[in-house]
Every structure is written in structure tokens, then in C-alpha cells.
């Protein structure tokens, strides 16, 4: 590797100290190291050309921002979780310096995650999202009316708090809290999940990767559209948000086995909390008394 960028969310405890150690180690093996604070889009765009790797020090929010900030450049991102859940960042601060030689030696695999592309026709503007695109109410206590179509065919008129259009990555976020399914992170399918629907069909749907979803606002109070929960804009009655799979993907550098995802998922969602592992065989081989 010749050029490495570091995105840092300085608000996290220990981030600046870790950055100092990281820059010292990188300077001995990499020709150029640059850094920017998370959310500084212009700085990222100025320096991303020719970058071989992005190391992101922060939480899941920083990872979401990084994935959007580097589009259309196909640069892998190594996430270092300084936050809480850490669904997107694979390693912790204590592991980074230990694993860095392996990373710089080219070890690991690149995991590609599908992204969404959203367009508000009235604005003539396109947005990229790694997690989800949410169209929802702008007034507390008042539902939003959304006329939903898929591939040009009318699906439903939702009277609800919001409709979430999510990627597989976003299926463990807002969509999950609203009752949506969990998809494997490398799936290309799209999840459509209504939030708190009232007297209308409320089942989440898994749509094919080439589906195009159109959501038209039909209420006087208007609504809002949120991109990854980070870009929020107001919508007027009659505005249409069109969502489809993006031509771009997010690339995450992984050092773990792909199957480790399931263990990490169970841990983060606390599915095994309170379970006595000694009472439950972890594998079919153990259950049969075979090799462990």
C-alpha cells in the first residue's frame, strides 16, 4: 500500500490517542498518510484519489458516512469500533495495532455491501445510502400518507409513521426495530418496511435487487426524507422519492471468516444472553459426540 486515509470521529474517547499511534506506525510503511474528521466531505473528496485503504476510527455512523463520502471510488474501508454496537466495524481499538501489519501486507478479504440510490424528482438530486432511505412524518402525532409503487405497479397507500427502504446492511437497523427481516450482509435484496401502519397492510416485504420503489407524499403537512439517518430534508405534498439499488457498493476490509458474522450478530442482538453454554452443544458434532 502506498496511500492510506484515516477518518476520525474525535468525539469518541481515546480516538485521538489511537490516531497518534496509528499515524506513527503507518508512516514507517506507507508513502502517504492523510486524515480528515468524519463528516468533512470536501476534505475526503480532495484526498481520496489514489488511496488504497481507508481506516475509519469511530462508530457505525462514521462508517455510514465514510461509505457515502468516497463514492464513486472503490476504496476498501477498515472499521475500528470506537462506539457502542459496532455492526459495521469489525475490530476494536486494542486490536488495530496488533492487526495492522497483516492489513498492510494485503491480508484479508473485501466484503461488498449493496447501497441504495434515492432521487427526489422535484429536486433533480440523487443520494446514496448504505443503510436505508426513510420517508416519514414531519409532525409528531400525525401520520404520513405515502402512495407506494414497485416497478410502476401500485402496491399500497400507507397511513403510517414512515416507510423504510433498507439494504441488507440496513436490515439490522431501523427496519429491524419496525419488525423487518434480517438479511445476510452481502445480499443484494431490498427490504420495504412500513413503520406503525394504521388500518393498511403492514407486512414488510423483501424485494429483488432490481426493484424500483416509488413513494409519493399525499398529505398537506408534508414529510421528511432521511438518508442513513444523517441527511434529512423536508418534502412537500406530491413529492416523489424513487429508490433503487445503487450502481456503487461499499467495500469493507475483513480479517475474519465469513461465518463469524452469525456469532457477531447473536452477540450484538443478545440472542444468547442468559444461556448456559455448557448445557447446549454449540455444534451438531458436539451434540453427536463427535469432534469439537
Grid cell listed for 181: 427481516
Strand-pairing partners, residue 216, are 147, 240
Whether 242 and 110 have beta carbons less than 8 Å apart is answered as no
**If you write DSSP's letter for every residue of 118-176 in order, what string do you get?**
EEETTTTEEEEESSEEEEEESSTT--EEEEEEETTEEEEEEEESEEEEE-TGGGGTHHH
CA 230, 236, 237, 241 torsion-angle sign: negative
Nearest to 205 by CA among 130, 148, 265: 148
Distance, in Å, from the CA atom of 128 to the CA atom of 243, rounded to the nearest integer, reads 10
| From 20, 31, 60, 151, the catalytic residue | 60
Q: Is 20 a catalytic residue?
A: no
Which residues does the annotation mark as catalytic?
60
Amino acid at each position: 500500500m502506498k496511500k492510506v486515509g484515516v477518518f476520525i470521529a474525535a468525539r469518541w474517547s481515546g480516538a485521538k490517542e489511537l490516531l497518534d499511534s496509528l499515524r506513527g506506525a503507518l508512516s514507517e510503511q506507507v508513502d502517504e498518510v492523510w486524515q480528515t474528521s468524519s463528516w468533512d466531505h470536501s476534505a475526503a473528496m480532495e484526498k481520496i484519489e489514489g488511496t488504497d485503504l481507508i481506516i475509519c476510527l469511530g462508530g457505525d455512523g462514521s462508517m455510514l458516512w465514510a461509505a457515502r463520502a468516497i463514492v464513486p471510488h472503490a476504496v476498501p474501508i477498515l472499521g475500528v469500533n470506537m462506539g457502542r454496537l459496532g455492526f459495521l466495524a469489525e475490530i476494536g481499538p486494542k486490536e488495530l495495532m496488533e492487526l495492522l501489519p497483516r492489513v498492510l501486507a494485503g491480508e484479508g478479504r473485501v466484503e461488498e455491501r449493496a447501497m441504495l440510490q434515492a432521487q427526489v424528482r422535484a429536486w433533480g438530486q440523487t443520494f446514496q445510502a448504505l443503510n436505508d432511505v426513510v420517508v416519514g412524518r414531519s409532525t409528531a402525532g400525525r401520520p404520513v400518507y405515502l402512495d407506494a409503487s414497485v416497478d410502476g405497479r401500485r402496491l399500497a397507500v400507507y397511513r403510517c409513521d414512515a416507510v423504510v427502504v433498507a439494504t441488507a446492511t440496513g436490515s439490522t437497523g431501523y427496519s429491524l426495530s419496525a419488525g423487518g427481516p434480517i438479511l445476510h450482509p452481502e445480499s443484494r435484496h431490498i427490504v420495504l418496511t412500513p413503520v406503525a401502519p394504521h388500518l393498511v397492510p403492514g407486512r414488510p416485504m423483501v424485494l429483488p435487487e432490481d426493484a424500483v420503489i416509488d413513494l409519493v407524499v399525499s398529505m398537506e403537512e408534508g414529510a421528511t426524507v432521511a438518508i442513513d439517518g444523517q441527511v434529512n430534508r423536508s418534502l412537500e405534498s406530491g413529492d416523489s422519492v424513487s429508490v433503487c439499488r445503487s450502481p456503487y457498493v461499499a467495500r469493507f476490509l475483513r480479517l475474519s471468516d465469513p461465518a463469524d458474522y452469525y456469532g457477531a450478530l447473536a452477540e450484538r442482538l443478545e440472542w444468547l444472553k442468559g444461556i448456559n453454554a455448557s448445557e447446549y452443544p454449540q455444534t451438531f458434532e458436539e451434540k453427536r459426540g463427535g469432534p469439537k
